[in-house]
Chains A and B, each alone.
Chain A
Amino acid sequence: GAGVSQSPRYKVAKRGQDVALRCDPISGHVSLFWYQQALGQGPEFLTYFQNEAQLDKSGLPSDRFFAERPEGSVSTLKIQRTQQEDSAVYLCASSLGRRPNTGELFFGEGSRLTVL
């Protein structure tokens, strides 16, 4: 595709439900990042993949958050037993570079999660 695609764009979940957010990076992009953006705040790093390898997950806020990229392209961010503080926009970004600190990072439009 022309850009990073995320789905669903909007998700409403009841507290305690599990959710899965999908990211389709730009074709051929090696590096993939997930960020969390709370209302009125800047995005915060969650995790980083180089192809299928999750090389940095230090930003995941709890063990309820899990991310995968099994074939090195599409990635899924899963949140188990959602809580109200998980309400945020989840942004996916990808770059062509093999090293995480090279190349321009392209962001998707995000998935807005609201937990009631």
Chain B
Amino acid sequence: QQQVKQSPQSLIVQKGGIPIINCAYENTAFDYFPWYQQFPGKGPALLIAIRPDVSEKKEGRFTISFNKSAKQFSLHIMDSQPGDSATYFCAPRSTLGRLYFGRGTQLTVWP
């Protein structure tokens, strides 16, 4: 986990706000950069992912911004909803298929 640093640890926004979660990594052998969403008592579920040859990817209300030179990527959630309240993990993947999870960001969206 030391290869991946995720911030902030927790985040509280009002409904409609745009929470931003950041992830910094050290290993240049990562080839795939996903974000996972986890609800209490459930396993992580893939939310959105990006490959290193692309700088931004948008799927619905979720956007990943990727900065290869800075070895950072971030998740933006547009028009956040109370149902988005969950823990979010960045988890870059090595070429051997292993995911390296960050410590997680607990997001709370108030109605």
List which A94-113 residues lie within 8 A (CB) of chain B: 99-102, 104-105, 107-110
- Given A101-B32, A101-B93, do A45 and B98 touch, yes or no (CB 8 Å)? yes
| A39 CB to nearest chain B CB (Å) | 11
Interfacial chain A residues near B91, Cβ < 8 Å? 42-43
Report how many residues on chain A are interfacial, defined by Cβ distance under 8 Å.
25
Task: Give the number of A-B contacts (CB < 8 Å).
Answer: 62
A45→B100 CA distance, assembly (Å)? 8
Cβ of B8 within 8 Å of any chain A Cβ, yes or no, is no
- A109 and B104 form a contact (CB under 8 A): no
A110→B39 CA distance, assembly (Å)? 12
Interfacial chain B residues near A4, Cβ < 8 Å? 43
- A110 and B96 form a contact (CB under 8 A): no
| A34 CB to nearest chain B CB (Å) | 11
| B1 CB to nearest chain A CB (Å) | 6
Residue of A nearest to B90 (CB): A42
Interfacial chain A residues near B97, Cβ < 8 Å? 31, 33, 48, 99-102
A99→B94 CA distance, assembly (Å)? 12
Interface string of B19-58 (1 = CB under 8 A from A): 0000000000001100000000111111000000000000
Interfacial chain B residues near A99, Cβ < 8 Å? 97
B-to-A contact residues, CB < 8 Å:
1, 6, 31-32, 41-46, 89, 91, 93-104
Beyond A45-B99, A91-B43, 5 additional contacts (C-beta under 8 Å) are A42-B102, A42-B104, A48-B97, A91-B44, A93-B43
9 A-B pairs, CB-CB below 8 angstroms? A33-B99, A40-B103, A42-B91, A43-B91, A43-B101, A44-B1, A101-B32, A107-B43, A107-B44
